[in-house]
Structure 1
Amino acid sequence: MKLVNTSVKRPVGVIMIVLAIIALGVVSLRNLTIDLFPKIELPVAVVATSYQDAAPQEVENLISRPIESAVSTVEGIETVQSQSQSGSSLVLMMFANGTDLDQALLDVRESVDQVKGFLPDRAGDPNIMRFNPDQLPVIWVGLTGKDAPALTEIADEQVVPFFERQGGVGSVTVEGGKEREIQLILDQAKLQQYGADAQTIMQSLRSANQSASVGNVEKGNKDLQLRVTGEFESVEDIKQTLVQTQTGATIQVEDVAEVKDTFKESSSMTLVNGKPSLVLSILKKTDSNTVEVASNVIEGMDEIKRDLPEDVNLEVVIDTSEFIQMSIDSVVDNILIGGAISIFILLLFLKSVRATVVIGLSIPIAIISTFALMYFTGETLNILTLGGLALGLGMMVDSSIVILENIYSYRQKGHSLVDSAIKGASELAPAVIASTTTTLVVFLPIVYVEGIASDLFTPLALAVSFSLIASLVVAVTLVPMLSSKLLSKAMEDSGRRYWFDRFLGWVNRKYKSVLKWVLKHRKTTIAGTVIAIAASLGLIPLIGAEFIPSADQGQMEIRVETDAGSSLEHTTEIVEKVNEKLTAYESAIETSYVTAGGGGFAMGGGGNQATYTMQLVPAAERDKTTTEIVQDIDEDLQTIPGAEITVSSMDAGMGMGDPIQIQLNGPEHEVLRVLSGQVVNEISSIDGVYNPESGASTGVPQMNIEIDDDEAAMYGLSQEQILGQIQLQFTGQVATQYREEGQEMDVTLLYPEDERSTISDLQDMKIQSPQGAVIPLEEVAAFKEMSGPVALQRQNQQPQLNVTSQVVDRDLASVVTDVENKLAEMQLPEGYSYEIGGQAQDMAESFADLALALVFSIFLVYAVMAIQFENFLFPFIIMFSLPATVVGVMGGLFVTGLPLSIPGFIGIIMLAGIVVNNSIVLVDYINILRRKGMDRYEAIIEAGQSRLRPILMTTLTTILAMIPLGLALGEGAEMQQPLAVTIIFGLGVSTIFTLLLIPVVYSLFDDLTGKIVGRKKRKKA
């Protein structure tokens, strides 16, 4: 080959190119984005709409349904879901994979615009956006110390602007802060005394707080802009605002109301490690590096702390980059360990430091080259792409080993160093290219895989492919060049490693005797293989299956839910009891962040809810896994009365949803609520089901006020007028805004709390008619106490309710089977049905896609070998090494106790391209010997013995380099463990079958071919 010839004769050029690639790789590595997982593209759009003070039923009928109908015709939509809750509607559209989401969002916007005019007047403008899983905080920072108002001012004025200036920071949100408000507490008696009402006061405040441009006048040769300024300059101005009463008298606001400069009533409470605190959640920019952003924020904390008051403390609550950094470090450590093992194996076989260096150089060069290729293809540095490098580590030296061995054989025949390098490399370069191609083509069917499996598989496939291509280029260029310069005395038999040579000789003799036996007992060998494959397939029910192994990230969540309608004070009391229980786990808990009354992760939470987000100490520093700690805490907290408490672990960064999600569908929400409770009871008894929950929240107690239109009309009142007065009395109303030192705050009219806290206050409330008459509310309204739903869900324009569950101590597939059996026994009413969603559905779809990819991969491997051999029979013989792989894969998963998962399935696909390489080497050499005139039997024995050494060398370097990943050493290694175990056991066992079964299959097919050819010859004769 010209490439080999040029590389040997122009060593300086090769070295310069290698140095340039290394420099490019190093620069690329510095600029690669570091993250935990590859970017998972979710084609999901969201339409969010507010509808103030509306019940969930109204929101569903007047907002959600019209929007659902409008967007359901948009091309590419697979599922439309809606959630209608008090005051807001959320409509989610899930598109088919591959949909152009930018165009889809334009189509959604056009569809929503068509119905926007038909929405109620009080409804806000629909907000249309894409759902981005990256838009989760990178780091949470707690601000503790002074009272909340002072902390809020410090956060708004100093901390937030400072953090937003840090590199890569997108936005900073403050939770738990106090919002300043000017409250006007109205005095009913004085209002009646002066003949004033709330509406008049509001109009007076708005009129007095205005500034506007009113035109221009000339002054000399200039135009002066005229501006009337009348905005409030102080709280005193608000107090002294003049109000014209209906009787014609003029009074000031302070005559009928107490003006208070205070803070809005807080609906939530935030605690960090048990102390009241503000929490700043920091989001990164879309293209920013998670680890770098977190580092910038943490470094900046030291700087800003110097400017804060002494009694104010700033501390990291949760840093998601910690686990990412530890995971990346552990994968890098595994790569280094695997690389060291590979180098040791090479040294053991080659008996030469120089020869080992020549081959060993292909590892760092291939890895560094891969970094450059990853950068230009837009991939991130994550545990899967680095895991791909770790997995491909042993395979990187395979091509170099084959080339070097052939160069050495020419050297032994007396050729010069340069001639040996050129002839040895050129002779086997086509075979090495074909062998590498069989490994690469298994990744091509990725185009048929969709969803999360594709998002995870593609970056790993690219990383492995890039590294193998780079190692192939090194094998046919750098290895021959270095061999011609460095191997003058390499690999000479000088007695070194003599013990290993004796061991290899013993292995070779044993193999020869076993090979002779299997060739004499071909039927027994075939039967034994079939029995082994059947037995391994019988292990499948015992192995089970799961979607993706969960990494022990040390994050957990506790959700506390008291009785519906409970006050924030009551929920806080329960939180304090939970805190007392958690003191027993202080050694395992690094930080704890709780939000009571909504906010944080508790989307839409009310005063009866509290959510803990907890970070445990690293896995290496605790005796128990996150799951075990979750179970222990859950058991302890169930003893707390008055609340429903759920403890669960969190898999941050993947966004895969609940392992089990049962979607109940039917025409009536109430029936679905009953059915969901029955389903929870039924599946609770299944082993492995943990914390089953119904999406049907307990109804919120509510008082329905039914206005008598006829009675109201007698007093000249409309329903809207009565509604406005009730709203003002019980929730207050913003009259205007007051600006002070660049800050804007609401000026709100309120009635005293003791006049708006009981049912009798509501019934006795004074309603003022347009004629000035004052009547109690109960004169024109009836009151009915009832329970109202918290939220109403729909999917594809039909009511839906979800039952979700975690899975513990069992594989997902077997638990799903038991759940489906339980559900099949339930007699659902006519018109009601269920579907299994969540990770269970994703697993089933991904496995189906990967199975199709496996079939195509096997076909492509056969096609490549057929091209290489220019024959259909020999590739067919080689393919017999594939079924035997099942024995190793299933046996390995069974021995290690790992269920089959997406990484494991990807390992099986990779094996389809790896295991045939040894068979190619063996069959190819048998054919070479037979062409030289050797008898078939002798050729098989000779080929087996002579190829045993390179087969063992390439197999051991591949397998042993993966041992660190197979042992799941370090943080986050759980993701690659099934993949590594699959390849280690699959390749190991298939190598044994390759060395023994393939010769038997070869001889059987050779006999069959001989009979067919002989029969044809006799017919011709």
Structure 2
Amino acid sequence: MNITSISINRPSLIIVLFSLFILLGYIGFTNLSYELMPDFNQPVLVIKTGYPGASPDEVQSSVSEKIEDALSNLEGIDYLVTKSMPNASVVIANMNYGVDLDQAMQDAQRYIDNISKDLPEDVLSPVMTKVSPNDLPIMSITSTSNLESKVFYQKMVDDFIPQIQQLKGVAEITVLGGEQREIQVKVDPEKLRYYQISLQQVVEAINRAGLDVPAGNVQTDQIQNAVRLSGKFSDLEEIEQVQVAMPVPGAPVYVRDLAVVKDGMKEITSVSRFNGKEGIGLLLKKQGDANAVDVSKAVRDKLSQIETQYESAGVSFVIADDSTDNTIAAVNAVVFDLVLAVILVALVMLLFLRSFRNSLIVLVAIPTSLVTAFAVMWLLGYTLNLMTLLAMSLIIGILVDDATVVLENIQRHLDMGKDKKSAAMDGRMEIGFSALSITLVDVVVFLPILFLQVFVADMLKQFSVVVITSTMTSLLVGFTLTPWMASRIGKAEDLSPTNAFNRFLIGFEHQLDRFIAWYGRQLTWVLNHKLAFTGIVILLFVITGVMMKQGIIGKELIATGDQGKFRLYLEYDKSTSVKENNLRTLQVEQFLLQQPEVSTLFSNVAGPTTGIGSLGVGLPYKSELTVQLLDKKEI
């Protein structure tokens, strides 16, 4: 007794099995995350180290070279690329393909920790990241208010951003622009010489006076109190009254004698604008395993709550760019094509098999073959993205093969006058080897992709897993579900022109017979003129090769498609300041905003860029403009 016989005579096992597949598929589908493209990590580690106030030469000698030396013994490393910039060092470690990046990150972190004591005291802790699509910001947000600029910036950093970062799936928020408050002590060099005091003495005096440290406990038999030396400044006058030195006994020198203390604004390192209006820009990244669509929705809800709460202050948030809009649109388009493909396949089956019953069996067989792919994707941690959905769209033509081959042969046995069960059993057994061959050919084509060790392996693996899973399930469906349904609802078809639809099917069959006869004549000519046809085939190969050599067909890693927006990267002379960069970029913005096709324009002047491979460090001579165009219908 084989699996087909069990399905036909004792269908309970098959019904339970496919019910379980459908249940797992439903659970998997409801838990799958949405992404535009699957996550594929380049074998690259990026180590960013901040060194405030340092020049590129100082960064190179004090930070970059030491980190390079520490990483030189890292296993699996191919080569290092170092960029020493003002205030920051970036070391890019390019690894060999096949290296475990997570393990490499742990080893690299251990090497860097070993040399951390050799780095300057002012150096910030190195931050290590992988180059991945998940490192790209999913949302660009701009915010404005009626509050004073310094107050609004502090409110943003101390209140608004922490609220957003608490949301599930939010990983990092980069702040662009804004005016940050800074207490400035402007020392007069002449007075330093007069009192014979160094600048370092002034700095150390202010730092000592500003300490806030615990000093132990005061304990009695009844009570116990903690003692804390609180030296935090509450106003400018307290800083002015800090004693710096006493060159002459009884004549102390205070900060007010040497400098002017003012409540000023920190030097601007980046500028953000939306449609020409300055504000505070936010670049939001999601966590690696988070659902981008859910994160976007949660962030939008939180921003609406903040706007309502601070309505009196005129706080407003505008979503300048949201990658999940394109993700949802792309996924919905592929899902629509997927459903349309299933329906069209059923209609084609109706025309060629001439039976509503057989079309119904095909309509059941295809989704049942696909549903297991959702369960496998969920178990393997995959997402619903263009690659997995594209695999499902393409696989429909393969899935219908098993069902059609088996079903057509069962129908032939029914037309021979056999009863349903005998026709289903004989039809499947007769064609079983052919169906198995069809399936295994598809599997062996895609199976080697799972063992690739190349840059896009992670992306292609998801495509291959979906194809292989769905194809193997379709073989199981063709050997079990299809014969069982045919044994229950199958029927011999003897078309007679009793109604309009039957007459249409008979007419279609006559046209099909004419086409087959024409094809037979062409095939006869080919068989009688083998040399001529061989020459035609060789000529086609030559033409194809020539066209490829001409470079007519371009090359790119991923076809992004037309999303109705583009990014413009501006790079000036390296000596350009942020202020000059801002003025020049503003002229470009004004020109773009005058164009009737431009809908919105988000400006990032001297801030970290958002493209893949971004180092996460802004440069004073670079700018990035994100331009959203109007829909063609709106022009």
TM-score, normalised with respect to structure 2: 0.89
Amino acid at match of 2:520: K
* Structure 1 residue aligned with 2:627: 614
Contact 1:318 1:591 (8 Å CA) reproduced? no
2:588 is the alignment partner of 1:578: yes
Q: Measure, in 2, the Cα distance between the counterparts of 1:523 and 1:273.
A: 67
* Structure 2 residue aligned with 1:278: 280
- Report Cα offsets for 1:933-966 as digits up to 9, x if no partner: xxxxxxxxxxxxxxxxxxxxxxxxxxxxxxxxxx
Cα deviation for residue 432 of structure 1 reads 0.6
Amino acid at match of 1:551: G
Cα deviation for residue 58 of structure 1 reads 4.9
| Partner of residue 507 from structure 1, selected from 511, 515, 518 | 515
* Structure 2 residue aligned with 1:127: 126
* Structure 1 residue aligned with 2:48: 48
Aligned CA distance change for structure 1 residues 154 and 425 (closer, same or farther; 3 Å)? same
Contact 1:143 1:151 (8 Å CA) reproduced? no
| Partner of residue 407 from structure 1, selected from 403, 406, 410 | 410
Q: Measure, in 2, the Cα distance between the counterparts of 1:80 and 1:182.
A: 40
Amino acid at match of 2:566: M
Q: Measure, in 2, the Cα distance between the counterparts of 1:176 and 1:382.
A: 34
Cα deviation for residue 2 of structure 1 reads 1.6
* Structure 2 residue aligned with 1:264: 266
Max Rg structure: 1
Contact 2:447 2:468 (8 Å CA) reproduced? no
* Structure 1 residue aligned with 2:398: 395
Structure 1 segments unaligned to the other structure (5+ residues): 624-1021
**How big is the alpha-carbon RMSD for the aligned residues of Structure 1 and Structure 2?**
2.9
Cα deviation for residue 111 of structure 1 reads 4.4
* Structure 1 residue aligned with 2:599: 590
Contact 1:51 1:122 (8 Å CA) reproduced? no
Aligned CA distance change for structure 1 residues 507 and 60 (closer, same or farther; 3 Å)? same
Amino acid at match of 1:206: N
* Structure 2 residue aligned with 1:18: 18
Contact 2:82 2:91 (8 Å CA) reproduced? yes
Q: How does 1:837-852 map to 2 (within 5 A)?
A: none
Contact 1:403 1:424 (8 Å CA) reproduced? yes
Amino acid at match of 2:306: I
Q: Which moved more, 1:540-549 or 1:169-178?
A: 540-549
Contact 2:589 2:601 (8 Å CA) reproduced? no
* Structure 2 residue aligned with 1:558: 568
Aligned CA distance change for structure 1 residues 415 and 567 (closer, same or farther; 3 Å)? closer
Contact 2:62 2:120 (8 Å CA) reproduced? no
Aligned CA distance change for structure 1 residues 196 and 517 (closer, same or farther; 3 Å)? closer
Q: How does 1:214-225 map to 2 (within 5 A)?
A: 214-216=215-217, 218-220=219-221, 225=226
> Matched residue of 2:479: which SS?
helix
Amino acid at match of 1:284: K
Q: How does 1:26-425 map to 2 (within 5 A)?
A: 26-50=26-50, 54-61=54-61, 63-112=63-112, 121=120, 124=123, 127=126, 129-133=128-132, 134-146=134-146, 147-188=148-189, 198-216=199-217, 218-220=219-221, 225-248=226-249, 249-310=251-312, 311-425=314-428
* Structure 2 residue aligned with 1:452: 455
Q: Measure, in 2, the Cα distance between the counterparts of 1:19 and 1:307.
A: 49
TM-score, normalised with respect to structure 1: 0.57
Aligned CA distance change for structure 1 residues 162 and 590 (closer, same or farther; 3 Å)? farther
Q: Measure, in 1, the Cα distance between the counterparts of 2:158 and 2:85.
A: 35
Amino acid at match of 1:83: K
Q: Measure, in 2, the Cα distance between the counterparts of 1:136 and 1:479.
A: 46
Q: Measure, in 2, the Cα distance between the counterparts of 1:234 and 1:196.
A: 24
Q: Which moved more, 1:527-536 or 1:470-479?
A: 527-536
Cα deviation for residue 524 of structure 1 reads 4.4
> Matched residue of 1:558: which SS?
strand
How many equivalent residue pairs? 619
Aligned CA distance change for structure 1 residues 191 and 524 (closer, same or farther; 3 Å)? closer
Structure 2 segments unaligned to the other structure (5+ residues): none
Q: Measure, in 2, the Cα distance between the counterparts of 1:370 and 1:360.
A: 17
Contact 2:172 2:285 (8 Å CA) reproduced? yes
Amino acid at match of 2:597: A
Q: Measure, in 2, the Cα distance between the counterparts of 1:78 and 1:188.
A: 51
Q: Which moved more, 1:407-416 or 1:253-262?
A: 253-262
Cα deviation for residue 13 of structure 1 reads 4.4
Contact 2:176 2:607 (8 Å CA) reproduced? no
> Matched residue of 2:311: which SS?
coil
Q: Measure, in 1, the Cα distance between the counterparts of 2:70 and 2:200.
A: 39
- Report Cα offsets for 1:503-533 as digits up to 9, x if no partner: 1211222233334444444444445444444
Amino acid at match of 1:45: L
Amino acid at match of 2:274: V
Q: Which moved more, 1:194-203 or 1:573-582?
A: 194-203
Q: Measure, in 1, the Cα distance between the counterparts of 2:194 and 2:111.
A: 54
Contact 1:200 1:245 (8 Å CA) reproduced? no
Aligned CA distance change for structure 1 residues 220 and 580 (closer, same or farther; 3 Å)? closer
* Structure 2 residue aligned with 1:547: 556
Cα deviation for residue 121 of structure 1 reads 4.3
Aligned CA distance change for structure 1 residues 228 and 308 (closer, same or farther; 3 Å)? closer
Q: Measure, in 2, the Cα distance between the counterparts of 1:545 and 1:596.
A: 32
* Structure 1 residue aligned with 2:506: 498
Q: Which moved more, 1:385-394 or 1:3-12?
A: 3-12
> Matched residue of 1:557: which SS?
strand
